[in-house]
Amino acid sequence: MAIVQEPVAEQSIGRTEARYRARTPKSRAAFERNQVAVPGGVPGGLGVMLPYPLYIERAQGRHVWDADGHRLVDLLNGDWVFPLGHGNPKINAAITAQLQKGITFCQPEPDLQYALSQLIQERIPSMERMRFTTSGTEATMMALRVGRAFTGRPKIAKIMGGYHGTHDASVIANGRYTDPTFVPRGLIPGTKESVVLLPYNQPDECERIIRAEAEELGAVIVEPMLGGSGMIPATKEYLERLRRVTSECGVVLIFDEVVTCTLGPHGAQGRMGVIPDLTTMGKALGGGLPLGAFGGRSDIMDLVDSALYPFDRPVRHASTVGGIPICLAAGVAQLEQLTPEVHAHIEALGEQVRSGVGALATRLGVPLQATGLGQFFGLHWTSVPVVDIDTAFTSDSDIIGRIALGLCNEGYLCFYFNVMGVLSLPMTSEDIEGFLQALEATLKENDLC
Ligand SMILES: Cc1ncc(COP(=O)(O)O)c(C=O)c1O
């Protein structure tokens, strides 16, 4: 029998939630309808909000319109996939043109894969060879497999609170919404034992663990900025130490740049000046269509099976719709438009959010802080500087949720957990001013200042 969540009793809710409920009856109806057949009423866990998700009907530029017809400034941008905003004309034209020619052929298309690989290599030169995938999950799963195959060592190491999608190794201590030590059920036996956990931004402790485990450790995977845990950047010193120790121990270092591949013109690795052995990409790479990539050093990627007979390469990778022409066409149009000027614009907006939140917190005397880099930001309600998953968990998630809901009432759509957001090209300085005013109004409505 389907489990249907009961609505919360109206008298027990605060002003912000009461306003949300009054504004969004069609979202509530959609939730009640959808959750019967779909757990949580949302696709793939995205859009989770309490008391129920906001359902979106359409989007254009920097805006989305919810089921009740409200227009909101969209700081989610499709879960970080639209740095150019929704409905970018050149991406739409590229998709439409490819639609006329054919979505996919099974046989390879001659130009698009080549064009996209060249654009990727201009941005991320360490991607000497690459394979395209359907998702970030597939990309990180494959990169880890390649790392283990190359070294011949069985274990992988990941960061406490690191999110790399939902394959077995990745869901250990992935930090999302829950106690980081929680181990979900249904994993291949031995998964937990084969995953070594590393602390974030603690170079000495990381070095100690990697050296102790080195004989069995095939790969270390790290997000240069913890995304799902709240946009928490790694320090340059930390990444440099990971680079040095993994090189000395013969362990493959993977940067998961599924989110950060559009952080400036050369991803997080270019920004930090630390080059991994393998990189994974996704999210914005496909211009909104499903596309990821994994790649890096030629000698490592040479292990992946090729289309040439005999099929004697040791690592298997196949994907029916991974890197199909329609997604590649959107990806080319996306990367071609992500110029240094575009990056400078969205990064300046990101700085405006972070410094504006800092100034607001000081003026109001509240423990609110903004983390992030470039166009990405996350808000935390704690006076402890947020640098890893443990410090992220000192943030009051109930207050943060109320802030997200309040911002939504005020016309700004953010991620409900950690009030995360990403800026896009069509946004302006006035949008950020409006966001900061909405934030202040929400704090006042909730008697938080
Ligand atoms: C850093 C990182 N890696 C991997 C993934 C998984 O990507 P996908 O949802 O496309 O499978 C995500 C998704 O949020 C991510 O943030």
Query: What is the Å distance from ligand 1's center to 163 Cα?
Result: 7
Residue 76 predicted with pLDDT over 90: yes
- The fold adopted by the segment(s) 10-83+340-445 is Aspartate Aminotransferase, domain 1 (3.90.1150)
Least confident of 162-171, 307-316, 340-349, 405-414: 307-316
Pairing of strands 421-422, 412-413: unpaired
Closest protein CA for atom 2 of ligand 1: 164
Q: What is the mean pLDDT of residues 186-215?
A: 96
* Domain spans of the chain, in order of start: 10-83+340-445, 89-337
Give me the amino acid identity at 293: A
The string of pLDDT tens digits covering residues 201-255 is 999 999 999 999 999 999 999 999 999 999 999 999 999 999 999 999 999 999 9
- CATH number for the domain formed by residue range(s) 89-337: 3.40.640.10
Q: What is the mean pLDDT of residues 404-415?
A: 97
Task: Please report, to the nearest 10 degrees, the dihedral formed by the alpha carbons of residues 85, 89, 90, 95 taken in order.
Answer: 100
Same fold flag, 10-83+340-445 and 89-337: no
The string of pLDDT tens digits covering residues 81-98 is 999 999 999 999 999 999
Atom of ligand 1 nearest to the CA of 162: 1
Cβ 175 vs Cβ 340: under 8 Å: no
Q: Is the CB of 161 under 6 A from ligand 1?
A: no
Instruction: Kindly indicate the confidence band of residue 154, based on its pLDDT and cuts at 50, 70 and 90.
Output: very high
Atom of ligand 1 nearest to the CA of 228: 16
Element spanning 192, H or E: none
pTM of the model: 0.96
Query: What is the Å distance from ligand 1's center to 258 Cα?
Result: 6
Instruction: Kindly indicate the confidence band of residue 180, based on its pLDDT and cuts at 50, 70 and 90.
Output: low
The string of pLDDT tens digits covering residues 297-353 is 999 999 998 777 667 789 999 899 999 999 999 999 999 999 999 999 999 999 999
Q: Is the CB of 165 under 6 A from ligand 1?
A: yes
Best residue among 81, 142, 283, 373 to mutate for probing ligand 1, ranked by most atoms within 8 Å of CB: 283
The string of pLDDT tens digits covering residues 26-69 is 999 999 999 888 888 887 767 888 899 999 999 999 999 999 99
Query: What is the Å distance from ligand 1's center to 293 Cα?
Result: 11
Q: What is the mean pLDDT of residues 408-431?
A: 96
Closest protein CA for atom 14 of ligand 1: 165
Rounded distance, CA 352 to CA 375, Å? Answer: 10
Exposed, middle or buried: residue 449 (CB in 10 Å: 0-12, 13-18, 19+)? middle
Output the CA–CA distances (angstroms, integers) from residue 50 to 4, 11, 377, 399, in the order listed: 14, 16, 21, 12
Among residues of the chain, what percentage have pLDDT more than 90? Answer: 87
Q: Is the CB of 109 under 6 A from ligand 1?
A: no
- Token match 């999302």: residue? 176
Instruction: Kindly indicate the confidence band of residue 1, based on its pLDDT and cuts at 50, 70 and 90.
Output: very low
Pairing of strands 71-74, 63-66: antiparallel
Output the CA–CA distances (angstroms, integers) from residue 318 to 166, 307, 315, in the order listed: 18, 11, 10
Beta strand ranges found along 358-407 (DSSP E): 368-371, 376-381
Closest protein CA for atom 4 of ligand 1: 164
Cβ 255 vs Cβ 101: under 8 Å: no
Element spanning 422, H or E: strand 421-422
pLDDT of residue 177: 52
Q: Is the CB of 258 under 6 A from ligand 1?
A: yes
Q: How many CB atoms lie within 10 A of CB 7?
A: 13
Least confident of 179-183, 184-188, 235-239: 179-183
Residue 273 predicted with pLDDT over 90: yes
